[in-house]
């Protein structure tokens, strides 16, 4: 009886330690208060409101980026976004920014029917993969959406609201080095809210 209780207790301790270790691996990239840990590129607006990170077009109506202050290679990134106006934006991975010129790969965030979850290579090959047309309906415009991006080696997989959107194996992506960055597209009239931006390095 004593041995059984010991085994059960040991199993519970190991389970709790495993959960704590998993939780420790996940890191929040946004502190809900300010833009610490991020670098602003361009003249467009980035600010915090109601514990949300806001990206909004400024008077110049040009491209704008908010990049992490460190590079990330292999990771699982999860976040939520809500498009309050024209939602033409994106999440860049393994990318570098010079002024407002970005070089790297974008997981698209866009209005309905514009391939949210697809992968676009800026200043390179353009669209690499788009979601199947029937998956375009997964996007909830004007409401909170959950996005998950897994990047490991040559492979990138994206999910939107629990639906896998695309999977791509690409050697160029595998060689990429750089930041995670959020985008404001040029043209003006864009406003997107972001929250729960978390990363787990793998």
pLDDT of res. 25: 81
Q: What is the mean pLDDT of residues 63-88?
A: 96
In terms of Cβ atoms closer than 10 Å to its own Cβ (0-12, 13-18, 19+), residue 170 is middle
Which has more confidence, 86 or 20? 86
Evaluate if residue 105 carries a pLDDT over 90.
Answer: yes
Query: How many secondary structure helices (H) and strands (E) does the chain include?
Result: 2, 15
- pLDDT 10s digits, 143-198: 999 999 999 999 999 999 999 999 999 999 999 999 999 999 999 999 999 999 99
Q: Give phi and psi for 27, each to the nearest 5.
A: -130, 135
pLDDT of residue 8: 53
Does residue 16 have a pLDDT over 50?
no
Q: Predicted confidence band at 5 (pLDDT cuts at 50, 70, 90)?
A: low
**Fold for the domain defined by 29-201:** Jelly Rolls (2.60.120)
This prediction has a pTM of 0.87
pLDDT > 90 fraction of the chain, expressed in percent and rounded:
86
85 band by pLDDT with thresholds 50, 70 and 90: confident
Residue boundaries of the structural domains of the chain: 29-201
pLDDT value, residue 11: 53
pLDDT digits (tens, 9 = 90+) for 38-59: 999 999 999 999 999 999 999 9
Helix (H, G, I), strand (E, B) or coil at 88: coil
**Mean pLDDT, rounded, of the chain:** 91
Tokens linked to 192: 């997107």
Query: Residue 7: pLDDT above 70?
Result: no
């Amino acid at each position: 009886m004593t041995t059984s209780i010991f085994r059960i207790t040991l199993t519970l301790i190991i389970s709790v330690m495993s959960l704590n270790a998993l939780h420790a691996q996940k890191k929040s990239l946004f502190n809900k208060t300010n833009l610490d840990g991020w670098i602003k590129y361009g003249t467009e607006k980035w600010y915090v409101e109601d514990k949300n990170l806001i990206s909004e077009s400024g008077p110049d109506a040009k491209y704008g980026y908010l990049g992490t202050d460190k590079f990330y290679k292999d990771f699982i990134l999860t976040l939520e976004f809500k498009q309050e106006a024209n939602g033409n934006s994106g999440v860049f991975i393994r990318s570098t920014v010079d002024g407002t010129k970005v070089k790297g790969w974008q997981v698209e965030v866009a209005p309905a029917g514009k391939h949210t979850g697809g992968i676009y290579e800026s200043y390179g090959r353009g669209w690499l993969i788009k979601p199947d047309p029937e998956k375009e309906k997964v996007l909830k415009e004007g409401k909170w959406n959950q996005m998950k991006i897994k990047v490991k080696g040559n492979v990138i997989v994206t999910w939107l609201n629990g639906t896998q959107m695309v999977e791509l194996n690409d050697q160029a992506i595998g060689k990429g080095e750089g930041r995670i960055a959020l985008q404001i597209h040029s043209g003006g009239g864009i406003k997107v809210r972001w929250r729960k931006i978390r990363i787990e390095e793998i």
